[in-house]
Amino acid sequence: MKSVALFNNKGGVGKTTLTYHLAHMFQRLGHRVLAVDLDPQANLTSAFLDEDDLAILWTESESPAWAGAEPQLTLGPFARRITRETGTVAASVRPIMEGLGDVEFFSPTQIVDGLWLTPGDLELSAFEDRLSEAWPRCFMGALDAIRTTTAFYRIVSDAARRVDADIVLIDVGPNLGAINRAALLAADTVLMPLAADLFSLRGLRNLGPALRDWRATWQGTVLPKIPQDISAPSGEMRPLGYVIMQPTMRLDRPVKAYQRWLARIPYVFADAVLADLGEADNKAYEIATLRNYRSLMPLAHDARKPMFDLKAADGALGSTQTYVQKCRADFQHLAERVLDRLTADDPPGN
């Protein structure tokens, strides 16, 4: 099993959309996929589940979905059952939050055959302070702090084991706080969606040193103090590469401006993330460039399916269907490139 965290310190680059579509494409390619929502905004969860599902999942008892018998909920061709006992990541860490014990494990929610979701919840944001407090106490080997800091890793590992996942995709919020530190520690690799603009480059410059610092601290200070009976991540967080998310070109943003920042990405990635300017002259870490599919997004949202699965019945008529085919080809190419990186013995450029 390989895990990938999708992360950029700068928000609004299409990270959750990328995670959602990659999860579906890996499943289309025959892999068993677990998507994990560790972003307290829970946007990935709301992409997979409709409002009635979410009302039940988040126990909003006033929802009409709870009137009468517990409903059978269906997404696509596969039925799954969401009950009050179905747990989110926030529910899993609630015993730690309340000082009542360790994490509680739940089975992931099946979306379709071969694709599962460990759902998120806005309540997860309350875990930030507990994680912040635990981090320095990990340095001294405090067992409760270590259990807190490794909670996400153990939740992800348990869920992946339950469904025998080949690939785990972890959606992470756009900041460098304690929740994201714990989320990234839970991942083998990190894939970074970028826009070709100043803000994404600044995000890379913040992200790179933070990853190196967390890796060095975890592997050098914390990991040697963790007893064998506590499952803990290696803290590798290997940079897998970046995906350029192409924006909609505006009349007030000429192509020259886009090209200017695009040309700087390999240098900034090599300098800030890899700390190796020897990689700055090539694009070994550039996995793909995805064109903007904004015209397909409303149709996909209404149909509750990936953009590359849209049919004429969903409103993808005429030339739009050609656009859908291009979208499918682009995401298949991206998924295959990511798989190549995940199965390579050495990182790109070696």
Q: Given this model, what pLDDT does residue 85 score?
A: 59
Using the predicted structure, report yes or no on whether residue 212 has a pLDDT greater than 50.
yes
Percent of the chain whose pLDDT exceeds 70? 86
Q: Given this model, what pLDDT does residue 66 score?
A: 44
- Rounded-to-10 torsion of CA 260, 261, 265, 267: 50
Query: What's the mean pLDDT when you consider all of the chain?
Result: 87
Dihedral-angle region of residue 306 (phi above 0 means left; psi in -120 to 50 means alpha; beta otherwise) = beta
Listed by start position, the domains of the chain span: 2-343
CB count in 10 Å sphere of residue 218: 22
More confident site: 281 or 35: 35
Region 201-214 average pLDDT: 92
Contact present, 173 and 244 (Cβ < 8 Å): no
H helix intervals, 118-197: 127-138, 143-149, 151-163, 178-185
Using the predicted structure, report yes or no on whether residue 95 has a pLDDT greater than 50.
yes
Of 226, 144, 142, 214, the residue nearest 183 (C-alpha): 214
Contact present, 53 and 82 (Cβ < 8 Å): yes
28: which 2 tokens? Answer: 């289309």
Using the predicted structure, report yes or no on whether residue 65 has a pLDDT greater than 50.
no
Q: Given this model, what pLDDT does residue 295 score?
A: 83
Q: Given this model, what pLDDT does residue 350 score?
A: 46
Q: Given this model, what pLDDT does residue 63 score?
A: 44
What's the burial of 212, exposed, middle or buried (CB within 10 Å: 0-12/13-18/19+)?
middle
pTM here is: 0.90
Region 178-195 average pLDDT: 95
Q: Given this model, what pLDDT does residue 198 score?
A: 86
CA dist., res. 335 & res. 347, Å (int): 17
Q: Given this model, what pLDDT does residue 170 score?
A: 98
pLDDT tens digits along 225-249: 999 999 999 999 999 999 998 765 5
Contact present, 35 and 118 (Cβ < 8 Å): yes
Q: Given this model, what pLDDT does residue 51 score?
A: 85
The residue ranges of DSSP E strands in the chain, in sequence order, are 2-6, 33-37, 73-75, 78-80, 109-112, 115-118, 167-171, 189-194, 238-245, 286-290
Q: Given this model, what pLDDT does residue 279 score?
A: 66
CA dist., res. 21 & res. 191, Å (int): 14
pLDDT tens digits along 2-12: 999 999 876 66
Fold (CATH) for 2-343: Rossmann fold (3.40.50)
pLDDT tens digits along 143-166: 999 999 999 999 999 999 999 999
DSSP readout, 96-123?
A: HHTTS-S----PPEEEETTEEEE---GG
Using the predicted structure, report yes or no on whether residue 192 has a pLDDT greater than 90.
yes
Q: Given this model, what pLDDT does residue 246 score?
A: 79
More confident site: 151 or 275: 151
Using the predicted structure, report yes or no on whether residue 121 has a pLDDT greater than 80.
yes
Q: Given this model, what pLDDT does residue 58 score?
A: 83
Percent of the chain whose pLDDT exceeds 90? 64
In this prediction, residue 258 has a pLDDT band, given cuts at 50, 70 and 90, of confident
